[in-house]
Structure formats: C-alpha cells, structure tokens
C-alpha cells in the first residue's frame, strides 16, 4: 500500500482497514455459501438467471476459446461458459472464498463438466495467470466485494488477449427515484429478513444490501473500465438499472 493512499475502505456502510476487508468478506460468504443459490432465487424471484443469461449472450465466445470467470462462486456462469467453448475450450473458475469455490466445483461435476473446467482459489486483484491468457473474462456480482476495484479491473485486463472482452455483471443504480425508493425498502427490510429466515444470517445479507449502495454507479464504473485501459466500453441497464452489464475490450 502506498503511503499516500487511504488506509480504509468500505465494508457495507462501515469503514474498515483495507487489509481487513478480504477477511470480512470471506466470513460473509463462508456463512451463506450453502444457501447462496436458493437465496439468489428468492431475492430476485429467479430473475438473476435471466441477467446471467443476458451476460452470457454477450461473450462472443467460440468453440476452443479460453475464458476466465472471476469471483465465480457457485459456478452458474461457469456452466454456461463451458457449454459455449465446448470440450476443446477451457473455463477457469476462480474465487477467493474456498467454500464458494467448492460449491462451484460440485455444481460443475454434477453438470458433467470436468474436462474443460478448472477451479483455482485466487484474488481478483492478483490473478495468477499469464498476460494475454483468455479471450474473455467475466465477473458476476463479485466486483463490489473487492477491496481495490481499480486494481482488480487492471488485473482482469492484463490476462485478456488482444481483442478480448471483459464483462462485469453487477447491481447498479436504479434510473428513476420511484424505483430507488421501492428498491431501498426491499433491500433494507425484506432482504435481511429473508437472510435470517432462510440462511440463518441477517447480518450477512444486510452487508450485501449495503455493499450494493457503496458500489459505483453506471457512469462511474464505465470511467473505471476506461481508466483500466479498456476500449469501446459501454453498459446495458437491466430492470431499470437495478442491474447493469458493463463491457470493454483490450486492444
């Protein structure tokens, strides 16, 4: 850490030391890993599956390509990627959290995807892959949990091949005040209640709601992609901006 850099960062609405955030995030996902997919279905009414399918439709992957799914958790994006690149391709699934990565590995095995997928525990800010390794890099609902988002974006750009695409699927900022009000009531009242009843952990889901509010809005994240050296950057709002897909290319 450089002496002039801020020594703290957000953990939801709380400020914590930068060196402590990864451990705090890891504890959250250790707690929710076993019920993570069920909670995603309940929280979004199943819409998260459509958001992920939309992101997958943008990859432009072909049979034989190599792709990296960062913070891939329970592996639902990786399953879709594996089907796109086929048996001759490669999907690298990474997550910093061992419990989530184990759930992802189990899902891939259950889906019969063992020959063209590898699982690696890795930090998004320090990806352990050579420069120019992948035609595409994806990260779905993981960037907001990263301590240094700019460093993670630069790391993901580094491992892209020339012409490769980065896709970021993440919660974002609703485009109308009325929708924002409804979304706030849902996030801070219903979401922790669901977390307590279904996952036995209201605090973790309160953090997840807070982390969404701390995440950069659409235009700010677009600027960050450009600052990381990506070109032809743009984004697509889904559900009135509650979710957005950002994309950019390494040229």
Span 181-225, pLDDT tens digits = 888 888 888 878 877 887 677 888 788 888 888 899 999 999 999
pLDDT at 31: 76
CA dihedral 29, 181, 139, 21 (to 10 degrees): -40
Residues of the chain with pLDDT under 50: none
Exposed e or buried b per residue across 72-92, where buried means at least 16 C-beta atoms within 10 angstroms of its C-beta: bbbbbbbbbbbebbeeebbbb
pLDDT at 155: 98
Provide the whole-model pTM.
0.89
pLDDT at 169: 97
Write down the domain spans for the chain: 8-172+216-249
Phi, psi of 139 (to 5 degrees): -145, 120
pLDDT at 1: 55
Q: Report helix, strand or coil for 242.
A: coil
Pick the CATH number of 8-172+216-249 from 1.10.1200.10, 3.50.30.60, 3.40.30.10, 3.40.50.150: 3.40.50.150
Q: What mean pLDDT value characterizes the chain? A: 91
pLDDT at 213: 87
pLDDT at 3: 59
């Amino acid at each position: 850490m450089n002496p002039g850099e801020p020594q703290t960062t957000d953990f939801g609405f709380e400020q914590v030391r930068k060196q402590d955030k990864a451990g705090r995030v890891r504890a959250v996902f250790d707690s929710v890993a076993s019920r993570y997919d069920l909670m995603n279905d309940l929280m979004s009414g199943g819409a998260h599956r459509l958001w992920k399918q939309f992101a997958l439709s943008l990859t432009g992957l072909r049979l034989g390509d190599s792709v990296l799914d960062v913070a891939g958790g329970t592996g639902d994006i990786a399953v879709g990627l594996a089907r796109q690149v086929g048996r001759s391709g490669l999907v690298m699934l990474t997550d910093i959290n061992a419990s989530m990565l184990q759930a992802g590995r189990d899902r891939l095995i259950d889906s019969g995807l063992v020959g063209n997928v590898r699982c690696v525990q890795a930090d998004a800010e320090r990806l352990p892959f050579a420069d120019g390794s992948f035609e595409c890099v994806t990260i779905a609902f993981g960037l907001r949990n990263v301590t240094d988002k700019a460093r993670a974006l630069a790391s993901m750009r580094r491992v892209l091949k020339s012409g490769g695409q980065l896709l970021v699927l993440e919660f974002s900022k609703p485009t109308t005040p009325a929708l924002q009000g409804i979304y706030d009531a849902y996030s801070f009242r219903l979401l922790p209640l669901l977390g307590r009843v279904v996952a036995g952990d209201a605090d973790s889901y309160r953090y997840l709601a807070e982390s969404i509010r701390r995440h950069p809005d659409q235009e700010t994240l677009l600027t960050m992609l450009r600052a990381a050296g990506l070109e032809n950057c743009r984004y697509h709002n889904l559900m009135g901006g509650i979710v957005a897909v950002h994309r950019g290319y390494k040229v």
